[in-house]
Amino acid sequence: MKIETKITEAVKAIVEELYGQQVPAKMVQLQETRPEFEGQVTLVVFPFTKMSHKAPEQTAQEIGERLKERLPEVISGFNAVKGFLNLSISSQQWISILQDIYENPNYGFTPVTEESPLVMIEYSSPNTNKPLHLGHVRNNLLGWALAKVMEANGNKVVKTNIVNDRGIHICKSMLAWLKWGNGETPESSGKKGDHLIGDYYVAFDKHYREEVKQLVAQGMDEEQAKQEAPLIKEAHAMLVKWEQNDPEVRALWRKMNEWVYAGFDETYKALGVSFDKIYYESETYLEGKEKVEEGLQKGFFYRRPDGSVWADLTSEGLDEKLLLRSDGTSVYMTQDIGTAKLRFQDYPIDKMIYVVGNEQNYHFQVLSILLDKLGFKWGKDLVHFSYGMVELPNGKMKSREGTVVDADDLIATMVADARQMSADKVNKLEDITEEEAQEIARIVGMGALKYFILKVDARKNMLFNPEESIDFNGNTGPFIQYTYARIRSILRKVEEQGARGKEQEDSSETKPLSCPLPLAPCPLALSEREISLIQKLQGFENAVKQAGTDYNPSCIANYCYDLASEYNRFYHDFSVLREEDEQKRTFRIALSAAVGQVIKNGMGLLGIEVPERM
């Protein structure tokens, strides 16, 4: 049983004994003791003063005395400061807590069962006319981390992607390739498929703007020129053919999309993300149109004289929303409704979470209302995991388009920077191969990228600074990874000493592990630093729960940093392997091992690997 639970139950019983009143558990407010006071857990006594009819400090003293009597194995001392009762927890209780954490490799995680609710999380949502960019990087990393966090909180999770593979923007790339591609392929060009198609999207825009410029020079209004430019007319004609299922247009569309998907897969693999189910707008928009027609028949929506279909949301404090254009074509809202229909058919969804930028806040407010009207039980409670923009300082690492930061370029740069920054540290490792050094650089570079993005509250806009992210000091991924590698080095030495055997003990710099774990029988007096580290370890469970409740992976990121910082302070102040006292040495080895396991699990929730050596 957790310390907080033991204290809560005891306080409830003591209040009833002393003051004759039963109180609910939520009235027992416990918090960490402020650093300037002695103790580790503080009880807020003010709620009980009306029952005691005594001053806050006197009430605290009374409850403290009874607590020490009732829980002698837990409470070693207390002090009352006004309406706060600061409790000192016994060393043996902290050792018992450490033992529980040490013996549970999944500490802090709630098991997933058959009865667990099913949460579907949508993230990525790329367009097939260009490669993934920095915004997609944040989206994918947030989506993956959120999925891991929700699973750690006992939910079954389905990770989904909706690919925007239809529309005028797709036709622009296709038309440009037909006009200027000369049969170029990813193989013949040496380019990733998504980059190749993105280049033709840029080429279309370049020629299109030139045509508009020429028409304006001939005296045409700019808005009219944008509509009358030959290229845009050809692109619209191609879209009509696509809608009519023209065999040639569809064949070209499938071929070019396959190139893009192959490119996407490489980027997803580098980012360490994947999906359980991928949906395509080319397959969902017709479903959406059918669902809108159904809503029209039921009177949820209405048709205007020009044939367009609308939802009147003025009674909900919103405006009217277009669902089908006058020519019968769909809009994004229609496609999202169709996708929702298919998902509901495929899975018994209890909660749907959309990981989409905050510029779509209004869209998802409307979608929630429409899905609820159409009978989707999770529609009203859908979650829009809204995140802010991410930018780079000084326009660094611009992509080949010159307007966005290409994801592949960013990943390659981060790994290269990690190799350069960690060269001195890696070179100190004995017997390291070039392949191992490059793998460490990959892990560190990607860890730096992921951590720097995920440590920020997703709702905020952020500035991603590559140089700052790769630093081995401060609140960075490499700092936490280096702490884990340090712990693994300690544990390898323990294993090596055990393997060498007792006869080699005298010649060893450090003594072998001389008594087995568990630790409970060891009557140690722990220092405040050691207690603080165990208390921080215990907090992992709450950090996981908070991250799941708030849909906030940054809770995990910042917890991992705090834990790594606390461990480094402990490591600076105390010897681990060279400790002469066998019980203390055993305790500190176990404490180090538990910290390493929790760091690995916490970083794993963020999709971040931790290297064995660094």
Query: CA–CA separation, 129 vs 256, rounded Å?
Result: 9
146 and 186 together in one domain: yes
Residue 48, domain extent: 3-89
Burial of 51 (0-12, 13-18, 19+ CB in 10 A): middle
Q: Which of 89, 107, 131 is the last residue of a domain?
A: 89
First CA to last CA distance, the chain: 37
42 and 178 together in one domain: no
- Res 511: pLDDT: 41
Q: Are 42 and 85 in contact (CB under 8 A)?
A: yes
Residue 470, domain CATH:
1.10.730.10
Instruction: Phi first, then psi: give them for residue 86, nearest 5 degrees.
Output: -90, 120
459 and 587 together in one domain: yes
Which residues does 546 contact at the CB level (< 8 Å), separation at least 6?
A: 552, 555
109 lies in a domain?
no
595 lies in a domain?
yes
DSSP letter for each residue of 336-376: HHHHHHHHHHHS--SEEEEEEEGGGHHHHHHHHHHHHHTT-
394 lies in a domain?
no
211 and 324 together in one domain: yes
537 and 582 together in one domain: yes
610 lies in a domain?
no
Q: How does pLDDT run across 120-138, given as a tens digit for each residue?
A: 999 999 999 999 999 999 9
Query: CA–CA separation, 82 vs 44, rounded Å?
Result: 10
Q: Give the helix ranges, DSSP H, for 41-156.
A: 49-52, 56-70, 91-103, 134-152
Query: CA–CA separation, 5 vs 230, rounded Å?
Result: 73
Burial of 393 (0-12, 13-18, 19+ CB in 10 A): exposed
Query: What is the Cα 281 distance to its own chain's centre?
Result: 25
Number of domains observed in the structure of the chain: 3
Q: Which of 328, 354, 388 is the last residue of a domain?
A: 388
63 and 125 together in one domain: no
- Res 399: pLDDT: 43
The pair of three-digit structure tokens given for residue 270, joined into one six-digit string: 């580098």
325 and 373 together in one domain: yes
Query: CA–CA separation, 367 vs 341, rounded Å?
Result: 12
Q: Are 101 and 538 in contact (CB under 8 A)?
A: yes
209 lies in a domain?
yes
47 and 166 together in one domain: no
Which residue numbers in the chain have pLDDT < 70? 1, 394-403, 424-430, 499-523
Q: What Rg do the C-alpha atoms of the chain give, in angstroms?
A: 30
Query: What is the Cα 360 distance to its own chain's centre?
Result: 19
Return the DSSP state at 328: S
- Res 432: pLDDT: 82
Q: Pseudo-torsion of CA 376, 378, 381, 385, nearest 10°?
A: -110
Query: CA–CA separation, 220 vs 394, rounded Å?
Result: 38
329 and 412 together in one domain: no
Which residues does 102 contact at the CB level (< 8 Å), separation at least 6?
A: 517, 518, 519, 590, 593, 594, 597
Q: Are 122 and 69 in contact (CB under 8 A)?
A: no
468 and 580 together in one domain: yes
96 lies in a domain?
no
Q: Are 201 and 231 in contact (CB under 8 A)?
A: no
274 and 360 together in one domain: yes
Q: Are strands 41-44 and 30-32 parallel, antiparallel or unpaired?
A: antiparallel
Q: Give the helix ranges, DSSP H, for 474-553.
A: 477-500, 528-538, 540-550
225 lies in a domain?
yes
Residue 40, domain CATH:
3.30.1360.70
**Each residue of 451-469: b (16+ CB within 10 Å) or e?**
bbbbbbbbeeebebebeeb
The pair of three-digit structure tokens given for residue 318, joined into one six-digit string: 């919103």
DSSP letter for each residue of 405-427: -BHHHHHHHHHHHHHHHTHHHHH
The closest of 34, 25, 22 to 2, measured between CA atoms, is 25
352 and 442 together in one domain: no
pTM for this one?
0.90
395 lies in a domain?
no
Q: What are residue 43's DSSP bridge partners?
A: 30, 85
